[in-house]
Amino acid sequence: MDRIEIHPVKYFKGEVIPAPDKSISHRAVIFSSLANGRSVIRNFLRAEDPFSTINAFRALGVQIEDSNEEIIIDGRGLNGLKEPEDVINCGNSGTTIRLISGILAGNPFFSVLTGDASLRSRPMGRIIIPLSQMGAEIRARSNNKYPPLSIKGGYLKAVRYEMPVASAQVKSSIILAGLYTDGITEVIEPIKSRDHTERMLPAFGAEINIKDNVISIKGRAELKSNLIEIPGDFSSAAFFLVGALIIDNSDLIIKNVGINPTRTGVLEVLQRMGADIKIENTRYISGEPVADLYCTGGKKLKALNIKREQIPSMIDEFPILCVAATQAEGVTTIRGAEELRVKESDRIKSMVSELRKMGVEIEEYPDGLSIKGSSSLRGADIESHNDHRIAMAMSIAGLIAEGVTTINGVSSVNISFPGFFDIIRRLTH
Ligand code: S3P
């Protein structure tokens, strides 16, 4: 049965290493596949989303081995991919379909990309428009909006593209297509989004320049193989972080967490809300800053207003931030966040409906919500909406609710964090 019962706990205590970073795991596979020679990836996220990327590159002729310790990839070079014999299924993964589209746009063969019901309802116009401007022939369902996508790639021309939405997936898709041009492709972001592509691709030999919000990539780079170690995922750590902060007497050390500033918006927000979080032992792993987080529960949090400029750096932490807001003193308002409506589920709608079931007072807006804090949550029958982050955030809410909380559709956590519930059981008392 795809459900779990959550009971209230007294505190979070101990040490935890979060799941390896999902965004960085995808990119490590993608860039290694395009490099010449054998690359090795350590601490890879063995979860459904990154496996969708591995399967896609296998379908494109790349040899990828999983030794259980490491992922070993024999890259075929930028122009060594082969036409897939069948439709490529990207599962639930927006990063897989959008980044691979940028590569297929530059390859002179035909391919079709699809995914599960959630992925087939996510907007693809945002990549189809720039990749078509560069010269690819792309068609999609529902008047070029949704997957399946068919791509006939080939010669691409460099463009200067101003992105209407802040999206690391769109930015990375265009950067990858830029590798297949003879010139310099420029992407302009309205607000800075996660920069893992810009950090990792130069380590494979690509020439990328960044000036303010303009990212330029020189085409036809020869990518060389690499050894990549993946840091822990801040987005996965955030569930434990908030769990520890909202439960009195908690004391938790979260080790080996990526603290790339384009990802840690919610860390600053929680600190401004009054949370006791210490960042220690900062170091670098494969070009990414990593640290250990020391979190102590019991400090009363204060509500905050969160605005559009802050959203990209905390885009995946919205569900768990909503849970923190239920315990803060005052009303927390989050606006300028309409992108959340086109994630794995409509995350604004999902959080409004599920937190209301637990007794929280919430107002919904087209671009966000406001949550009245200091709520006592009551156990309820919760739907994950088949969204891994809703399932995990609502499970943390269940730990502070009175009575039993049932989370339905709980296998969705395997998208980004298999083993999540084992860790919760180990850390909570
Ligand atoms: C991701 C970018 C973000 C994020 C997603 C992973 C990435 O999506 O929500 O979970 O790996 O580039 P958008 O680029 O659509 O904001």
Query: Ligand 1 pocket: which of 194, 234, 308, 344 to mutate (most atoms <8 Å of CB)?
Result: 194
Buried b (16+ CB within 10 A) or exposed e, 348-377: bebbbbbbebbebebeeeebbbbbbbebeb
**Which atom number of ligand 1 is nearest to the Cα of residue 339?**
16
Distance 95 CA to ligand 1 centre (A): 6
What's the confidence (pLDDT) of residue 99? Answer: 99
pLDDT value at residue 1: 80
* Number of separate domains in the chain: 2
Is the beta carbon of 23 within 6 A of some atom in ligand 1?
A: yes
262 CA → ligand 1 middle, Å: 11
Domain end among 195, 229, 263: 229
pLDDT at 186: 98
**Are residues 281 and 176 part of one domain?**
no
Minimum CA distance residue for ligand 1 atom 13: 167
Please tell me the predicted confidence (pLDDT) of residue 238.
Answer: 98
Instruction: Indicate whether 183 and 34 sit together in one domain.
Output: yes
Q: Are residues 330 and 199 in the same domain?
A: no
Query: Last residue of a domain, which of 198, 229, 260?
Result: 229
User: With a cut of 70, which residues of the chain have pLDDT below it?
Assistant: none
Cα of 57 vs centre of ligand 1, distance in Å, is: 20
pLDDT at 334: 98
Average pLDDT, the chain: 98
* 147 and 123 in a common domain: yes
Active site residues per annotation: 316
Distance 360 CA to ligand 1 centre (A): 28
Percent of the chain predicted with pLDDT > 90: 99
Q: Specify the pLDDT at position 386.
A: 98
* 355 and 223 in a common domain: no
Do 135 and 153 lie in one domain? The reply is yes
Identify whether residues 302 and 196 lie together within a single domain: no
CATH code: domain of residue 122: 3.65.10.10
Atom nearest to 169 CA in ligand 1: 14
The Cα 204–Cα 207 span in angstroms is 9
Any atom of ligand 1 within 6 Å of the Cβ of 347 = no
Q: Could you say which of 204, 229, 254 is where a domain stops?
A: 229
pLDDT digits (tens, 9 = 90+) for 303-331: 999 999 999 999 999 999 999 999 999 99
Residues 259 and 326 in one domain: yes
Asked if residue 281 and residue 164 are part of one domain, the reply reads: no
- Residue 136 structural domain: 22-229
